[in-house]
Structure 1
Amino acid sequence: MMTNLYDLPLLLREIQKGSESAFREFYDQTKSRVFTLALGYVRNREDAEEITQDVFVEVFRSAGTFKGDASVTTWLYRIAVNKSLDFLKHQKRQKRFAFFTSLFDTSTGELLHQPTDFFHPGIALENQEQAAILFRAVGKLPDKQKTAYLLTKVEGLNNIETAGVMAVSVGAVESLLQRATENLKKQLAGLYKTLQNP
């Protein structure tokens, strides 16, 4: 949930003045939220860590541009969403070139099986395999549907908070969630009932 357990606006004001200790404190208080959101997009711990680093570089770099028109948490989520989507776009470009080489063993020519190495910290251990299937399906959603779904279902934001992060109306969020749910139902078919609440 978007609760300020610590005074993030005060920390951000100190960061704007160049305080490294305030930046460290801000990072410590918010890094897990950023990491779990990024992990929802990329489903890979190393990639999520890379995105998290990019987000906080951007926080430090652009702290001075924060005008207070949204909450600090909303501003942070916006950066995290944008960095995650940018990462996926870059990854897609790289995958086009690496696709065939990653599919086959270069020495034998046999098709390789890529094991699922997925662990989401917000999901119980016994549900990780189901979650991996669900997150693969979420990964195929259009960007806006994916973002609305991850912010509400994984991060636990309500529709008003999600609308603030995405800079759209609450009605648009509801529509995106409805379309995301319909798309996931189509993808997951019979599995959907068990995967709906991982």
Structure 2
Amino acid sequence: MRYDKSGSFEGLVKLHQDQVLNTCFRFVNNRDDAEDLAQDVFMEVYNSIDSFRGEAKLSSWIYRIAVNKSLDFVRKKKRKKRFAFVLSLSGFGDKEKELQLPAPANPHTDLEQKERIHILNQAIDLLPENQKVAITLSKYEGFSNKEIAEIMGTSFSAVDSLIHRAKNKLQKKLHHFYEKHL
């Protein structure tokens, strides 16, 4: 099944833009970057729609593009951070900025919740890429394992296993944090 170009591309964007934006945001944790990525996703969809073969749902194809673009962005950002770190070791860069510690936790509930979310996001970022994608699409975006399998181009059982392993790793990584804070 091929996409019918006579349909409104604007309608396609309206239908998927919020979820694409949220998907991108879950990977990059920055609203401006997520908006830029979402725009790139729809440009890619527009330019590549003729290559859509219909082996999966159109929405799965679109979210796969969103995940790939987000992961590419994160990889590039990590390379830049490593490069900046190497520069700082060699005496270049602003060392004061790099050595700043986060502000101490505020006893207010709202700030505690934000800290928990931040810690969780950091732990998710440390997961292997395929586990990170699966757990993000499942728990943050609400996709079913079947939909995730289509997006990731893998089997249902592989997605089930990825999510299970991701949960176990997160539980181990976060165990000490929650022991201290609960």
TM-score by length of 1: 0.74
2: distance between equivalents of 1:83 and 1:190?
Answer: 33
Among 113, 128, 132, the alignment partner of 1:146 is 132
SS of 1:70's equivalent in the other structure is coil
The one-letter code sitting in structure 1 at the alignment partner of 2:84 is A
- In the TM superposition, residue 50 of structure 1 has moved relative to its aligned partner by 1.9
Closer, same or farther: CA 103–40 of 1 in aligned 2, 3 Å: farther
1: distance between equivalents of 2:122 and 2:159?
Answer: 21
Aligned to 1:74: 60
**Aligned 1:39-188 pairs, distance under 5 A:** 39-99=25-85, 100=88, 104-105=95-96, 111-113=99-101, 127-188=113-174
* Deviations 1:119-149 (CA, angstroms, capped at 9, x unpaired): xxxxx99844422221111111111000100
- In the TM superposition, residue 176 of structure 1 has moved relative to its aligned partner by 0.6
Equivalent pairs, count = 168
2: distance between equivalents of 1:64 and 1:25?
Answer: 17
SS of 2:4's equivalent in the other structure is helix
* Structure 2 unaligned blocks of 5 or more: 104-109
2: distance between equivalents of 1:113 and 1:13?
Answer: 53
- In the TM superposition, residue 84 of structure 1 has moved relative to its aligned partner by 0.9
- Native 8 Å contact 1:184 1:192 kept in 2: no
* Deviations 1:164-187 (CA, angstroms, capped at 9, x unpaired): 111111111111111101111121
- In the TM superposition, residue 105 of structure 1 has moved relative to its aligned partner by 2.3
TM-score by length of 2: 0.80
* Structure 1 unaligned blocks of 5 or more: 1-8, 116-123, 194-198
Q: Which moved more, 1:166-175 or 1:126-135?
A: 126-135
Closer, same or farther: CA 192–154 of 1 in aligned 2, 3 Å: farther
- In the TM superposition, residue 114 of structure 1 has moved relative to its aligned partner by 5.8
SS of 1:96's equivalent in the other structure is helix
Do residues 13 (structure 1) and 4 (structure 2) align?
yes
The one-letter code sitting in structure 1 at the alignment partner of 2:124 is V
Identity of aligned residues (%): 41
